Structure 1
Amino acid sequence: LGEDSFEKNLWEKIPRIKQELSFAQIKELARFFAQIVDYKSPFTSTHSIGVAEDAERLSRYMGFDEETVQKMYLAGALHDIGKVAVGNEILEKPGRLTEDEFAVMKHHAAYTYYILSGVDDFDEIRDWAAFHHERLDGTGYPFGKTATELNTQERMMACIDIYQALTESRPYKQGMPHEKACEILRDMANKGWLDDTIVKQVEDCFRG
């Protein structure tokens, strides 16, 4: 059986039941999937939840309405869900990835996009989640989006993902202090990769 026919047969045997979930239930599900992703590798054991909490905090700090704040939490929790399709030999490699390994790792953002595309009414959250490695100058991935194609929430997620990765401790490194992480974010903004206005908001929001 081919992969497509296998999936078709599987869903014929296990019908999908459409349910209306409350926002709280969706948030719990998102946390559950974030924990699956984070537990996949001890190197990033708290990353998805950290990004979710940072996204919620920054959104509230920047004055967005509560629905947007909660959607950003969901996008943060699910932003790396595509990593379930990446092998642990790459996720857990302590040294620098080879070009081929990095190419495989980069696919995780596209996988996030395609996985979340299967959820009804999730287009906005899908984009906020999946575009976290895009850059304003078009050199990011998976789709090479440019500044005109990236909205505020997508720009925020790019900054938050990097900030959280820099400041969290992992088995092979100690997390950076806030000021050092913001210095790196400012440098990336100067290179035209990140939104400098949002970098400043990150700096103010997470100080102290």
Structure 2
Amino acid sequence: MDISNETVKILVVDDEESLREICRDALKDEGYNVLQAGDGQQALEVVSANKDVDVIISDLRMPVMNGLELLEKIKEKQLDIDFLIMTGFATIETAVECMKKGAADYLPKPFNINHLLVKVSKVIRDRTAKLERNRLSNIVRMLNLSNALNAQLDLKSICYEFVLQVQRNFSPDSAVLFTRADGKSNLTKSVIRGRLFREDPEFFARVQRLAQESLNESKSYLLDKYTARQLPMFADQEFPYSLMVVPLFSQQNRVGAVVLLRKDSSLFSNDDLQLLSVFAAHVATAIQNAKMYTRMRDQNIDIIRSYAKAVEAKDYYTKGHSERVAVYAVKLGSYLKLDSKELDALYTAGVLHDIGKIGIPDHILNKPDKLSDEEFEVMKSHPVIARDILSQVWSLKETLPVVFHHHERVDGKGYPEGISNGQIPGLAKIISVVDAFEAMTSDRAYRKALPWEKARDILLSGKGSQWESDLVDSWVDLLNRDGFENIQKDMQTMPLRTSQR
């Protein structure tokens, strides 16, 4: 993930207006978006009105609310904001206390303005790296969730496995999964874990009403003792909890809702709510498919397609690219008379072939002109990133070599390993041909789509060096037989491979 200075929002908190102004001017000169507050209480109000604050630079001693109290409030609310403390009372004890409470760094007064900029730059770099690690970690968690769900063959097992997974990933004190029976509108309890819901039936009934409201209104909730008071069903009672409610939807079908609750422990965060929403989307698909199919394998593609969309969300011009590559690959595989298992593997590899680009910085992925040699080396790392992600999921072990080697060339000049024709997996060579063709016939940030005839000619000129000759000839024969326009139309109606059985 790449974070430019223009996208970074910094809040400077100090009761000395002149110092705030000096910091603001210096930070603005570096391109940062800068806000100001005169004390900790004002800072909380600014943060409440600006949900995207990345860094707070705060004095330690201030009236109304000091810097440490502000830091504690930020941590208590579990806001994803890095904290840089500055103070004129530069003692080791103060620094240790700040770091123990979660400060990212410590800046003693008086300081040189360049020292401030160096500190801020380091905090931003560390923040960028942390966000990237979290994003890749979440992808692995989602893939592991999919793997766990895919191993279950019936609705009851899926529900129990899902609740087990959310317990492992979110550590709630209690959890409950509500589902809807076909043709019914009301939610019923499917799985419940923890004592809190069992010991207070009246409270559980209120939670169930909130879950029903969440599903009916397609709205998620993140509640604590302050925000719960705004809801009528909790306004008349104490609420010493942190609670998340997320509805379950699958292709516009209202499936159910999941509720997680903590008592007397750390609060759930907005990041938790977002990740739980992704988990909920996956289990909703699993539940729906479990009602339609006897084996969970039949819903695998619906789940893994969401990972390709996570990549495509970074780049508007590649929207739908992975899906088209998957369909083209199956078309070519069918023309070559591959069996059903190989066609399924081709489709899965086509959907996942670019998943490693989730780890490529946005400024490289979306660059509107030719990449530099250094940038291209970074881009070439995406098969390795894909391998690191997919290797976490045992059910994709057969797909992994196809994804990893889809940029190899038959003359050995490809990447990531530079292997030649006889060493490249056959399915990877198929993906390579259709991936190149799809990329050439689609708009990109750096150029408009080429006519399909031009793309065909480029493939023909590269056969035997970049691509296997027989595969290029077969793809060209298929284009000539069916017509490029007709193949594109088939994209709209072609069913998922796993639902063709």
TM-score, with length taken from structure 1: 0.87
2:64 matched residue in structure 1: none
Work out whether 1:200 is the aligned partner of 2:473: yes
Aligned counterparts, 1:105-184, within 5 A:
105-170=379-444, 172-184=446-458
Q: CA deviation at 1:194?
A: 0.9
1:49 matched residue in structure 2: 323
Work out whether 1:59 is the aligned partner of 2:333: yes
Q: CA deviation at 1:159?
A: 0.7
2:304 is matched with which residue: 23, 26, 30? Answer: 30
Q: CA deviation at 1:139?
A: 1.0
Aligned counterparts, 1:51-90, within 5 A:
51-90=325-364
Q: CA deviation at 1:57?
A: 1.5
Q: Which amino acid aligns with 1:112?
A: A
The 2-side partners of 1:83 and 1:141 are apart by 15
- More displaced stretch, 73-82 vs 165-174: 165-174
Q: What per-residue deviation string (whole Å, max 9, x for no partner) do you get for residues 150-191 of structure 1?
A: 13211111111101101123355332222211110111114x
The 2-side partners of 1:161 and 1:118 are apart by 25
Q: Which amino acid aligns with 1:95?
A: D
Q: CA deviation at 1:42?
A: 1.0
Q: What per-residue deviation string (whole Å, max 9, x for no partner) do you get for residues 71-95 of structure 1?
A: 1011000000000001110000001
Higher relative contact order (CA 8 A, sep 6+): 1
Gaps of 5+ in 2: 1-129, 153-295, 484-501
Name which one, 1 or 2, has greater alpha-carbon Rg.
2
**Any idea what SS the aligned residue of 1:148 has?**
helix
- Contact 2:442-2:448 within 8 A present in 1 as well: yes
The 2-side partners of 1:33 and 1:113 are apart by 14
The 2-side partners of 1:159 and 1:78 are apart by 16
**Any idea what SS the aligned residue of 2:383 has?**
helix
Work out whether 1:187 is the aligned partner of 2:461: yes
- Contact 2:405-2:425 within 8 A present in 1 as well: no
Q: What per-residue deviation string (whole Å, max 9, x for no partner) do you get for residues 4-47 of structure 1?
A: xx99xx99xx8x66331633311101211111111111121221
Q: Which amino acid aligns with 2:418?
A: G
Q: What per-residue deviation string (whole Å, max 9, x for no partner) do you get for residues 86-123 of structure 1?
A: 11100000011111111101001111122111111322
1:40 is matched with which residue: 299, 314, 328? Answer: 314
**Any idea what SS the aligned residue of 1:40 has?**
coil
The 2-side partners of 1:170 and 1:148 are apart by 32
- Contact 1:35-1:49 within 8 A present in 2 as well: no
Gaps of 5+ in 1: none
1:92 matched residue in structure 2: 366
User: How has the CA–CA distance of structure 1 residues 56 and 23 changed in structure 2, closer, same or farther, with 3 Å as cutoff?
Assistant: farther
- Contact 1:37-1:81 within 8 A present in 2 as well: yes
- More displaced stretch, 90-99 vs 114-123: 114-123
- Contact 1:135-1:144 within 8 A present in 2 as well: yes
The 1-side partners of 2:355 and 2:473 are apart by 28
Q: Which amino acid aligns with 2:447?
A: K
- Contact 2:357-2:382 within 8 A present in 1 as well: yes
Q: What's the % identity of the aligned pairs?
A: 32
**Any idea what SS the aligned residue of 2:313 has?**
helix
User: How has the CA–CA distance of structure 1 residues 23 and 205 changed in structure 2, closer, same or farther, with 3 Å as cutoff?
Assistant: farther
Q: Would you say how many aligned residue pairs link Structure 1 and Structure 2?
A: 198
Q: Which amino acid aligns with 2:331?
A: R
- Contact 1:113-1:126 within 8 A present in 2 as well: yes
Q: Which amino acid aligns with 1:206?
A: L
Q: Which amino acid aligns with 2:475?
A: V
- Contact 1:37-1:48 within 8 A present in 2 as well: no
The 2-side partners of 1:70 and 1:23 are apart by 11
The 2-side partners of 1:62 and 1:188 are apart by 20
The 1-side partners of 2:362 and 2:350 are apart by 21
